[in-house]
Structure 1
Amino acid sequence: MSHTAHIRSHRKPRRSASTLAVRAGVAGGVLSTLAVAGASGSANAAEPVTQTLELPTLTADLAAQAAQSADATEQAAANYQLQAERDAAAAKAAKKAEADLADAKKKAAEAKKKAEEEARREAAARASRTAERTTLSASADTGTGTVLGDSGTGTGVGTGTDTGASTATGSAATIVNFVRAQVGKAYVPGATGPSAYDCSGLVQTAFRQINVSLPRVSQDQSTAGTQVSLSNLQPGDILYWGSAGSAYHVGVYVGGGMFVGAQNSSTGVVERPLSYDPPTGAVRVL
């Protein structure tokens, strides 16, 4: 028997080829992974990846463009403001024009109404004068109302019992003498003497000679005294044309079928017979 028969062998048992192959594969895979990881780590360590945000550089061109943009914005704002002001002005002007148009229409309507009223008054006055002429003509044809004129003879328009200016006395004579002294002077609307008169201005100034204050206009003078008949006139009576309270013309009866009045700008102050333009009525102040 051998002396080594009971000594255990120091050799490791043989492994199967398949086991060795699996282990070799696993080891290879691990080594490969480590190699890759190492290589990747080395690469990352050698070349770190950084991300840089680049800002634009403000060059001269960009500065100029920015300035132009700012100017354009400012100009646009100014244009908007100007347009707003123009719109406001246009609206204000339109409102004023509308108000002016309404005012003009109102004035035109008032003027038309006044003209129509004046035309009616004139028509009434013409009708009244026509009727008066017819009456006076009829009286003259029948021989009534014969009066003495300023020359002392002659046939005039019938005026009741008046025998002429010579019958005027006292205050009436003062008025008659004054108005006759104004004959030939000019007719000027609104004038009260001494070189020119309108109809009511002459009458007012005449009565002022005897300290009698009369209203200024014909309408008021036609109601300033007591209404008297045209067939019973006396020197110094105020004659009026139109209706009492709305007369458009006045004069002074001077006797003898005559009156003195500031007629118009063509004739001025004249003395005429009543038949020249028969009055509508008369008032007596004295």
Structure 2
Amino acid sequence: MSITAHIPSHRKPRRSASKLAVRAGVAGGVLSTLAMAGSASAASQAEPVTETLEMPVLNLDLAADVSSAVTKSADATRAAALDSELNAQELAAEKSAAATAKKAKAEARAEAEAEQEAERRAAAERASRTATRTTLSGSSDEGGAAKSAGTAKRSTATGSAAAIVNFALAQVGKAYVMGATGSSAYDCSGLVQAAYRQAGITLPRTSQSQSTYGTQVSLSNLQAGDIVYWGGAGSAYHVAIYVGGGKFVGAQNPSTGVVERSLDWDRPSGAVRVL
């Protein structure tokens, strides 16, 4: 027996062939797995992933409903705007009509008051000229000559003047009504306006406006058909129609109605010629 036989050997024991083979297989598998992972990582870095998002498709019935609702809303808005505009127009028309009626009423009242004042003034003037009127209305030769001349002048009026004069004379005896324009009653400016309408001429409605409508003429140069007025031009309170022969026809007041009078019965302030 060797003297070293009892000393354990320090050499590593030999591995069996089977164990070596297993270890080699495990190592190879690990390396293969790493290689595949690396390839996959490289591939993922080379080709970015693209995702596709699908948008929801709008249902056709829902789209039609939305379109219909929008159309109805627009129609309702237009209808509301139209109603608002019509209401505004109606309100404006009502205001305008009310203002016109108020103005006409005020003018008629002012004219009536002016005519009443004219009658009072005329009465006072007639009272102060009683002697003169009596002389002028007598049957003296001078008065008779003037009357004949006046009748001749009236009878020779022609054309538009004749139409105006004849109409005015035909209204004598009819009633006086404030604001009336015919055919059974008149106020002073209503009679003048109606007479001139026979000649196709439209005059303003009030005595104030009629006293400035045309050319101012002298009372000594009157012609049949001229408009005579009392008061100032533009502020006249009474008007009538000169019919020739030193006379006029006018709607005087409610107590006398439409009458024919001598200029000297109540001398006018002025006259205008329209023809």
Q: Which has the larger radius of gyration?
A: 1
Instruction: Calculate the TM-score normalised by the size of structure 1.
Output: 0.46
| More helix as a share of residues | 2
Question: TM-score by structure 2 length?
Answer: 0.47
